[in-house]
Amino acid sequence: MADPRLLDRDLSLLAFNERVLDWAVREDVPLLERLRFLCIVSSNLDEFFEVRAEPHLSAAQAKDSKGQYSVASFDRLADALHQLVERQYALYNEQLMPAFGKLGIHILSHGERNAAQRAWVQQYFEKEVRPLLIPVGLDPSHPFPQVANKSLNFIVRLKGKDAFGRENDIAIVKVPRVLPRLIRLPDKLAHGKALFVSLSSVIRAHLAELFSGRDVWQFSQFRVTRHSDLAVDEDDVQNLRMALRQGLEHRHYGQAVRLEVSAGCSEHLADFLLKQFDLPARALYRVHGPVNLVRLTQLIDLVKRPDLCFVPYAPNFPVQMHPGRSVFEQLREQDILIHQPYESFDGVLSFLRQAVHDPLVLAIKQTIYRTGADSELMELLREAVRRGKEVTVVVELKARFDEEANINWAEMLESIGAQVVYGVVGLKTHAKMMLITRREGKVLKRYGHLSTGNYNPRTARLYTDISHLTADASITAEMDHVFVHLASQSKLPRMHKLWMAPFHLHRNLIAKIEALARAAEAGKDTRIVAKMNSLTDEALVRSLIAAGQRGVKIDLIVRGACVLPAQVPGYTDNIRVRSVIGRLLEHSRVFYFRVEELDELYLSSADWMNRNMVRRVELAWPVTDAALRQRLVDECLVAYLYDGIDAWDMGADGSYARTPDPEGRTVHGAQQALMDRYGRFDKR
């Protein structure tokens, strides 16, 4: 059968954000959490523009309609983006703000402030804001200033002449990032309510005071988003770390890809800004509210209303781990799985902490992709070096938007004597693994940790991931081969357990899918269930489609972008695609293959995207213990296939719809069920 046309990756990614935005719409969600999800979508869109928009924009500006990026692709994307942004602000203005107002929580505009409140705002402006503002009047000696990525600014059109008798009428006011975007009014002015003013409103009310002797005619806040994906030619640099640090200095001033202005911005000022940033009209977004909704997350902390937030969830220590016993002793008996964040990331830290303080541990090797700027894990590695252990860290310097933190950690570890390597030229090291070597009698014993997620204690509280601790000699030996390969660039020996990208992972996945297709054609009962963040690799997609056409039953649990069109009659009838969007961010990658009674399950750091298969160092590994494998099937796959609350199913046209309530079954959400099973909720 002919394959149907694949779905558009970028439009699929925007459809994912529509599903996230639904959490801000749902009235069963606490109000401050609805605001948080609105801000999450704004943050996601910022990153989308920073990373995905530039090729479409460049093709449109060049009027080049060849290939994947074209005038048409830019127009389709712009249509979807404008609709999503309009929906965001309609939700903000028509539902969320009125709901806050009913609870006595208001963000007051200048017109809504009484005389006493205006006097307080005036004093705040004079004391805290005005000293940091430098309005720039534009003329030949004062050209349009450099405007940083995503910064808040004002453009002002003035009447009259300047101090030198000239009629330059445009000025720019850049707003420092250090200023808070929301300011709470004192209780004595709030009359029992929680009243706030936005920084943009404060500046807007006092713009005229910045231009003595001139009349403010027109003005608007504005914000420009720039292409921010660092591009470094690794083959042409002597020191990747220094090249990236220099690149970071220019990231805030890359090519402009989006311009946001107030809804009331005049055509004259909007056209002026578009010209300055070399943007077409469709890159202009007029918004009915603050140009940066992300910064409204400050309201959640400022309001101090826990009753308007989710009941706090506290994960318990991993059920398989016994705090009073050595982790090494436990691993000699059985592998350990930790299902984060339902079970605490403290289990991973406990493993490393014991290794650091155990005098029999000789060496620690670890990969670092995203660990954050403040990390107990990195401090433990520092302590391990201090205690004389051999510490090798593979730091991925090119982890997008974490480059600076990773460079700083690399420099710190190098300065105290750790061996720091940066992986393979041209590839990102995305695999998550830690290897401990311990002297036990006359032999050296290895203990390994493999994970679907990052070594980041903060995100480990928010992302669903699987940590796998093992003393399996074959797996840990192959982990050691990978570390040696990353450090020395030497050829890998033959691998029997680990599937590694860019060498084996892609072809092994395709071979596994094709083997099931042959089994299905032979009349055997076959099943594939795969859970991941994104599915965009064309070869894997077409392999799945072909397998489905040959009789394999396939369920795909894909949180974000998915280009495989499911349930298309005559083409993909045997394939279902669903997306689960919950309170936590779905991040675990679990791949299940079954022929009759024989099943295999792999965990992985990789999504099924081309970049993960050919441009990254990734790992997938088997879970061979039958009991642990069944646990993963139950918790990561079955629970999500029967989720009746947070799941969305893809239709034949590629759109997603909420899963209808199953008849005759108790409706449940997978995340809620797992939180109930493993953790505890703080009682109020």
Residue with tokens 């809504």: 112
Mark out the alpha helices in 258-402 (DSSP H runs).
267-276, 298-303, 327-333, 346-357, 376-386
Q: What is the sign of the dihedral through the CA atoms of 333, 339, 343 and 345?
A: positive
Position 141 scores a pLDDT of: 62
Please name each of the domains of the chain with its CATH number.
9-308 (3.30.1840.10), 314-495 (3.30.870.10), 501-681 (3.30.870.10)
Q: Cβ atoms within 10 A of the Cβ of 586, count?
A: 24
CA 134 remoteness from chain centre:
35
In this model, does residue 18 exceed pLDDT 50? yes
In this model, does residue 242 exceed pLDDT 70? no
Position 237 scores a pLDDT of: 46
Q: What is the mean pLDDT of residues 410-417?
A: 83
In this model, does residue 1 exceed pLDDT 50? no
Position 400 scores a pLDDT of: 62
Determine the angle formed by the axes of helices 346-357 and 376-386, rounding to 10 degrees: 10
Per-residue pLDDT band for 397 (boundaries 50, 70, 90) equals confident
Position 241 scores a pLDDT of: 54
Per-residue pLDDT band for 166 (boundaries 50, 70, 90) equals low
Per-residue pLDDT band for 371 (boundaries 50, 70, 90) equals confident
Position 399 scores a pLDDT of: 57
The mean pLDDT of the chain is: 91
Nearest-10 Cα torsion for 327, 328, 330, 334 = 120
CA 21 remoteness from chain centre:
15
| Nearest residue to 444 (alpha-carbon basis) of 328, 321, 322 | 328
Span of 236-250, 508-522, 542-556, 609-623 with lowest mean pLDDT:
236-250
**Strands ordered across the beta sheet of 284-287:** 136-137, 170-174, 153-159, 215-226, 256-262, 284-287
Query: What residue type is 381 in one-letter code?
Result: L
DSSP 281: G
In this model, does residue 580 exceed pLDDT 90? yes
509-550 pLDDT per residue, tens: 999 999 999 999 999 999 999 999 999 999 999 999 999 999
Sequence length of the chain is 684
CA-CA distance, 347 to 251, in Å (whole number)? 37
DSSP 316: B
DSSP 608: B
Distances 268 to 163, 264, 278 between C-alpha atoms, Å:
24, 11, 15
Is 430 an annotated catalytic residue? yes
Q: What is the sign of the dihedral through the CA atoms of 232, 238, 240 and 245?
A: negative
Helix, strand, coil share (%) of the chain residues, nearest 5? 40, 25, 35
587-605 pLDDT per residue, tens: 999 999 999 999 999 999 9
| Nearest residue to 353 (alpha-carbon basis) of 391, 322, 379 | 379
Bridge-partner residues for 435, per DSSP?
Answer: 365, 448
Position 409 scores a pLDDT of: 74
292-330 pLDDT per residue, tens: 999 999 999 999 899 999 999 999 999 999 988 999 999
Q: What is the mean pLDDT of residues 151-169?
A: 80
Cβ atoms of 15 and 651 closer than 8 Å: no
**Peptide bond preceding 131 in cis form (omega within 30 of 0):** no
Looking at 56, 206, 227, 430, which residue is catalytic?
A: 430
Mark out the alpha helices in 618-683 (DSSP H runs).
626-632, 639-641, 670-678
Span of 180-194, 405-419, 424-438 with lowest mean pLDDT:
405-419
Per-residue pLDDT band for 193 (boundaries 50, 70, 90) equals very high
Cβ atoms of 284 and 270 closer than 8 Å: yes
